[in-house]
């Protein structure tokens, strides 16, 4: 399978480059003044978060197009993107609290991004559970698409309302781990990490898509 081989190579390359990013982030990037070493979590956490949300948007788009075009390739892609999304979501939800504890003094806060990521994660879980619970392939694809579209439509509501919530109720924290203007070396590390995460998303989706194809072939055999 060409797709599978390409996916494997891309993933492997991505993992090797990830090691490179680790080295660069830990040894060759300056330590941030106020947050210290813990700030370096940023280089993993933010790219993962960007891809968690992007993967969901792609699931939503693929789902919408699937209901119109009925092309099974879109459904396979949605499934693959959802799995990748849940993987990256797990990274965000573990590294987030680990970063928050030393910096904010608390494991969790109903900050806009964490709340959104938690809801996204729950949507991914629901999406994959629904797929697992429906045995008929055609039905499964349609149901998943319905859920995917609803999920993608929920995201803007959560984004807007949690931001509002934040401004009405002051947060019990001082610092916000947002990226203001970064010094050059930090920016480069961040961009390299984002590139690696992108590569990993692509590699994962390609392999997962190929897996769906293999399973379908096995069923028809």
Partner 1 sequence: MPENTPYMVAAYCITAVILLAYAVFLYRRTLKP
Partner 2 sequence: MVEILRHGWLLARKDLLVEFRSRTAILSAVVFTVLVLLVFNFGRDPTAVAAVDLAPSILWVTFTFAAVLALNRAFQLELENQALDGLLLAPVSRASIYLGKLVANLIFVAVVEGVGLPLFALFFNVAILPVLGPLLVVIALATVGFVAVGTLFSAMTARTRFAELLLPVLLLPFMLPPLIWAVLATAALLAGRPLSEATAWLRFLAAFDLVFVTLAFLLFPATVNE
Give the footprint of partner 1 on this chain (CB under 8 A). Answer: 4, 7-8, 11-12, 15, 18, 22, 26, 35-38, 40-41, 44-45, 48, 87, 90-91, 94-95, 98-99, 101-102, 200, 203-204, 207-208, 210-211, 214
The reply to whether 119 sits near partner 2 by the rule CB under 8 A is: yes
The reply to whether 210 sits near partner 2 by the rule CB under 8 A is: no
Structure tokens given for 208: 């997962």
Minimum distance, C-beta of residue 41 to partner 1, in the bound complex (Å): 4
* Measured CA distances, 31 to 25, 36, 41, 97, 203 (Å): 9, 6, 11, 20, 31
The reply to whether 149 sits near partner 2 by the rule CB under 8 A is: yes
Judged by beta carbon, residue 24 or residue 159, the one nearer partner 2 is 159
By CB under 8 A, the count of residues binding partner 2 is: 28
3-state secondary structure of 89: helix
Any idea which residue has 């928050």 for tokens? 100
Minimum distance, C-beta of residue 115 to partner 2, in the bound complex (Å): 9
8-state DSSP, 80: H
- Residue 210 binding: pick among partner 2, partner 1, none (C-beta 5-8 Å cut-off by kind): partner 1
Judged by beta carbon, residue 81 or residue 117, the one nearer partner 2 is 117
For the chain, what percentages of helix, strand and coil (3-state, to nearest 5) are there? 85, 0, 15
The reply to whether 133 sits near partner 2 by the rule CB under 8 A is: yes
The reply to whether 161 sits near partner 2 by the rule CB under 8 A is: yes
Partners of 32 in the beta sheet? Answer: 36
Torsion sign over Cα 61, 63, 68, 73: positive
Partners of 23 in the beta sheet? Answer: none
């Amino acid at each position: 399978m060409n797709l599978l081989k390409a996916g494997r190579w891309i993933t492997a390359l991505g993992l090797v480059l990830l090691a490179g990013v680790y080295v660069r982030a830990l040894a060759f990037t300056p330590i941030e003044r106020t947050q210290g070493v813990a700030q370096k979590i940023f280089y993993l956490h933010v790219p993962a978060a960007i891809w968690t949300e992007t993967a969901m948007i792609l699931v939503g788009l693929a789902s919408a197009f699937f209901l119109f075009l009925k092309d099974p390739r879109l459904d396979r892609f949605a499934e693959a993107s959802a799995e990748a999304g849940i993987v990256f979501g797990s990274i965000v939800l573990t590294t987030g609290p680990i970063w928050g504890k030393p910096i904010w003094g608390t494991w969790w806060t109903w900050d806009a991004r964490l709340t959104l990521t938690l809801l996204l994660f729950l949507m991914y879980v629901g999406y994959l559970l629904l797929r697992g619970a429906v045995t008929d392939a055609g039905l499964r694809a349609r149901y998943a698409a319905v859920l995917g579209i609803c999920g993608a439509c929920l995201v803007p509501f959560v984004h807007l309302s949690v931001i509002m919530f934040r401004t009405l109720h002051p947060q019990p924290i001082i610092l916000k781990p947002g990226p203001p203007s970064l010094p050059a070396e930090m920016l480069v590390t961040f961009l390299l990490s984002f590139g690696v995460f992108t590569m990993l998303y692509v590699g994962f989706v390609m392999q997962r898509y190929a897996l769906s194809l293999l399973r379908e072939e096995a069923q028809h055999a």
